[in-house]
Amino acid sequence: MKSVVLSALLLAVAGAAVAGPACNAPKEKWMPEAAFKKDVEAQGYQIKTFKVSKGQCYEIYGTDKAGKKVEIYFDPVSGKAIEQK
């Protein structure tokens, strides 16, 4: 029983360490998704996948100008990158 509880605790800690940043702005202040995507693509990124992360940030998976794979979290209000993996 202890090993099950310990395993669950370790998974929870590991999941928290992998999770992205948190964005706390109210949704009515967010940049529209279409405008955000257009802005990011104008910066040279190609978006393969776009989503709203669990932490309520805009998140993209795709490639940068050089064709390198990227995973980036953005502030949904300003559109600025806040974390890249």
- CATH number of the domain encompassing residue 54: 3.10.450
- Name the amino acid, one letter, at 59: E
Q: Which two tokens stand for residue 12?
A: 């929870």
Q: Where does the pLDDT of residue 2 fall: very low under 50, low under 70, confident under 90, or very high at 90 and above?
A: low
* Structure-token pair, residue 76: 């949904």
Tell me how many domains the chain contains.
1
In a domain, 10, yes or no: no
Averaged pLDDT score across all residues of the chain: 86
Nearest partner of 34 among 80, 79, 85, judged by Cα: 79
Would you say residue 4 lies in a domain?
no
Percentage of the residues of the chain whose pLDDT score is greater than 70? 79
d(CA 65, CA 10): 38
Domain that holds residue 74: 20-84
Say if residue 13's pLDDT is above 80.
Answer: no
Residue 19: both structure tokens together: 């999770």
The number of residues in the chain equals 85
39-67 tens-digit pLDDT: 999 999 999 999 999 999 999 999 999 99
